């Protein structure tokens, strides 16, 4: 048996179509998996960056390097207001106590 470039090979048409369809399905699945893997890698990279940012934020926040959040600023303003009111009430109480001492 001699095999060269002119050796006749017969393949049924249905087998040739099946091989073509199988090859198309394989290529489609390959690109689908490749895209999915790329997406997962990107998500993993983003999560890693977010974790690193959170670590940095946690340490900087604890050291007071990031300033105050708006809610903290509002809370501090309210506490200052309450503190001023308490001081006025104390002063008024001391003033009335002095007046009572003077009358007695």
Give pLDDT tens digits for 50-90: 999 999 888 887 777 777 666 777 888 999 999 999 999 99
Q: Does 73 share its domain with 41?
A: no
What b/e readout covers 8-34, taking b as 16+ CB neighbours within 10 angstroms? Answer: eeeeeeeeeeeeeeeeeeeeeeeeeee
- Within a domain: residue 2? no
* Total tally of structural domains belonging to the chain: 2
| Residue 41: domain span | 9-67
Residue 24 lies in a domain: yes
Report the alpha-carbon distance of residue 50 to residue 44 in Å, rounded: 10
- Reported as a pLDDT band with limits 50, 70 and 90, residue 40 is very high
Please say if the pLDDT value at position 1 is more than 80. no
Q: Decide: 60 and 66 in contact? Cβ < 8 Å.
A: yes
Chain position carrying tokens 């009111």:
85
Same domain? For 88 and 50 the reply is no
Q: Do 16 and 37 share a domain, yes or no?
A: yes
In a domain, 104, yes or no: yes
Q: What is the pLDDT of residue 68?
A: 67
Least confident of 9-18, 61-70, 71-80, 92-101: 61-70
């Amino acid at each position: 048996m001699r095999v060269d470039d002119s050796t006749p090979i017969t393949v049924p048409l249905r087998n040739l179509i099946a091989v073509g369809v199988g090859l198309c399905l394989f290529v489609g699945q390959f690109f689908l998996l490749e895209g999915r893997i790329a997406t997962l890698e990107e998500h993993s990279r983003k999560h890693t960056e977010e974790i690193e940012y959170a670590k940095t934020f946690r340490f900087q926040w604890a050291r007071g390097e990031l300033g105050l959040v708006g809610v903290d600023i509002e809370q501090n303003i309210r506490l200052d207001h309450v503190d001023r009111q308490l001081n006025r009430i104390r002063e008024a109480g001391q003033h009335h106590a002095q007046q009572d001492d003077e009358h007695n």
